[in-house]
Structure 1
Amino acid sequence: MSKITFSVVGACVSRDVFNRKFVPEYKEFYECISQAWQCSIISLMSPEVKLSEDDLQLSEELSAHRYNTMMRDISKQYLADIKANPPDYIIVDFYADMRYGIVKVGNKYLTNNPNGFRKTKFFRDKKFDAKYRFPTNLKTYRKLWEEAFDKFYHFAQQNLPDTKIILNCFRYANSYVDKNGEVVMFDQDRYKFLDSETKLFNELYDYLLDKYPLYKIDLRENEYYSDSQYAFGLAPWHYERKYHNDFFSGLNLICLRDLMGEREEKARAVKPEGVKKKKLFGVF
């Protein structure tokens, strides 16, 4: 049987389940075939933004991964990729919308990503028209976000009819496990946004699940700590291994239910007349 395929519109909270550092066995069953890494849904559904070579001059060298992430956000290449190679499932999270926000360029948008875009000459020279963040420009951002997700959902319906969308309902961790195995609270001054942004995330999840028939993986009732030894650094969204194991179990359950549903559909499609003629073991 071929592997079940996934795409990710999101960040570490969704993508790292397809990393053998966290889930060593995932490749036995699944394949992540595309991603819109750390991409705002508003930017994703915006038209392409044309930036000159001068605009793209960088203040420091980027890794190939971060440079490609930035260029794919600018070009909106992901939509063409996923249309050409539809996955079985798309996992969506809104980390980039909440943490990074967007810039407006005319009537178009880019993710205001500090790992790439903010290092460009275009950003440093403030050649954009405006910048917005969810928590600080709530009314404006919420409207743009709702419109963008609606575009994304209908894009999937029209172009990816066999693809299901999975909403990752994650929340931030308030504590982490240090190198000695002790549980430590995050600095409340540095991370004073944790509770307010978690509350906003919850409102967004409720809105989407009420409006759209989405699949979901919802681990918010479970207590997870961040990991001080996490491969990509300590942060409230870089969880201990238990989170990734539970997320992987959630994917397994979704896929198993769908496979069983398909089997039941095929069984119902069998014509009874074709079976009755066999008269096996007197059952019929």
Structure 2
Amino acid sequence: MSKITFSVIGSCVSRDVFNRKFVPEYKEFYECISTAWQSSIISLMSPKVTLSKDDLELSEEISKHRHNTLMEDLSKEYLEEIKTNQPDYIIIDFYADMRYGVVQIGDRYLTNNPNGFRKTKFFREKKFDNSYRFRKNLNIYRELWEKAFDDLYNYVQEHLPKTKLILNCFRYANSYVNENGELVMFDQERYNYLDADTKLYNELYTYILDKYKLRKIDLRENEYYADGNYAFGLAPWHYERKYHKDYFHTLNQICLRDYVFTKKQSNGIRAKIKRLLG
């Protein structure tokens, strides 16, 4: 049975709905065929970066997943992958740009990811030209980011004309539920950036949605807590199961709306949903 296909440019807040730990039934309807994991939009749309084996020497062992993330961020191979696979939808979030920022190497950029890139000899010896963070270097970063998103949007229009973009408008949780079921505030000293980042996220969502007609998953009006027992660790963006349930429900609504209100779906969404429902 043909399923509706998704790619993700983002992080856990967008990708974990396609994980049976969180949404056991998702594979009955959907297939996630590729992910640009924790990649800055700026890095994604930059030319590829080639580093020597010596530069890629790591200060500590990292998982295969994190090593693959690092190598894919260098190669920018995701763009060719989605062009080949032609997903029905691409879900985008801005987590990596907000949390990690980028480093500049000549006219090229890499995601300044602490889980991989920052462990390389290249990073430790500061061989890059500049590093930028969204709030720290707001004007510079915003200009780079806006251009990169324009480039991404135009790339999709040119090479994936049947693919629809979905923006995931999420916000951080300020509290989590611990193992005893108690509600606990995140440490305000350790997580002192939550409100400022959320404010900037909201500005970016408004900018993008005003400029482009994108579908969106927007659950900001709902109150979600982080999960103290989350499979990938406690964090303000690792939500309780209710978030994933609501996220999945919103995806269903988007796909059904495309089926009901669009008479001609050249990418086969109507046919796929009809088969699924039948």
SS at match of 1:158: helix
Measured against aligned partners, the alpha-carbon deviations of 1:5-34 in whole angstroms (never above 9, x if no partner) come to: 000000000000000000000000000000
Give the Cα–Cα distance (whole angstroms) in 1 for the partners of residues 9 and 220 of structure 2: 20
Q: Report 1 or 2 for greater relative contact order, CA contacts < 8 Å, sequence distance ≥ 6.
A: 2
Per the alignment, in what secondary structure is the counterpart of residue 131 of structure 1? strand
Deviation at 1:39, TM superposition (A): 0.2
| Residues in 2 aligned to 1:83 and 1:56: alpha-carbon distance in whole angstroms | 28
Query: What whole-Å deviation, never above 9, does each CA across 1:56-82 have from its counterpart, x for those lacking one?
Result: 111111111000000000000100101
SS at match of 2:57: coil
When the two chains are superposed, the root-mean-square deviation of aligned CA atoms in Å is 0.8
- Aligned-pair identity (%): 73
- Which residue identity is paired with 2:81? D
Secondary structure of residue in 2 paired with 1:195: helix
- Mapped partners of 2:264, 2:236: distance in 1: 42
Equivalence for 2:221: 221
Find the counterpart in structure 2 of residue 140 from structure 1.
140
Q: Equivalent residue for 1:254?
A: 254
Q: Do the aligned partners of residues 129 and 250 (structure 1) sit closer, same or farther apart at CA in structure 2, a change above 3 Å counting?
A: same
- One-letter amino acid matched to 2:36: A
Q: TM-score, normalised by structure 2?
A: 0.94
Partner of 1:70: 70
Q: Structure 2 matches for 1:4-15, cutoff 5 A?
A: 4-15=4-15
What is the letter of the counterpart of residue 40 of structure 1?
Answer: S
**1:187-214 deviation line (CA, Å, top 9, x unaligned):** 1000010001000000000000000010
The equivalences for 1:118-129 within 5 A come to: 118-129=118-129
Note if 1:113 corresponds to 2:131: no
| Offset at residue 135 of structure 1 (A) | 1.1
Classify the secondary structure of the residue corresponding to 2:118.
helix
Q: Which has more radius of gyration?
A: 1
Residue 190 (str. 1) matches residue 190 (str. 2): yes
Q: Which residue of 2 aligns with 1:96?
A: 96
SS of residue paired to 2:7: strand
1:61 aligns to what? Answer: 61
Q: Are positions 1:150 and 2:141 aligned together?
A: no
1:33 corresponds to: 33
Aligned letter for 2:172? Answer: Y
Distance in 1 (CA, whole Å) between partners of 2:2 and 2:66 is 31
Matches of 1:265 and 1:159 in 2, distance apart? Answer: 20
State the alpha-carbon separation in 1 of the partners of residues 258 and 248 from structure 2: 15
Q: Structure 2 regions of 5+ residues with no counterpart?
A: 266-278
Task: Give how far 1:265 is off.
Answer: 4.0
Residue by residue over 1:78-100, the C-alpha shift from the partner in whole angstroms, topping out at 9 and shown as x without a partner, is: 00101111100000000000000
Give the distance between the partners of 1:265 and 1:210, measured in 2 at CA. 25
Secondary structure of 2:34's aligned partner:
strand
Amino acid at match of 2:214: L
Alignment-mate amino acid for residue 148 of structure 1:
A
Task: Give, in angstroms, the shift of residue 248 of structure 1.
Answer: 0.3
Report whether the alignment pairs 1:84 with 2:92.
no
Q: Structure 1: which 4+ aligned runs deviate by more than 3 Å?
A: none
Count residues in correspondence: 265
User: What is the alpha-carbon distance in structure 1 between the residues aligned to residue 107 and residue 52 of structure 2?
Assistant: 18
How many Å apart are 1:251 and its aligned residue? 0.3
Matches within 5 A, 1:200-215: 200-215=200-215
Secondary structure of 1:184 counterpart: strand
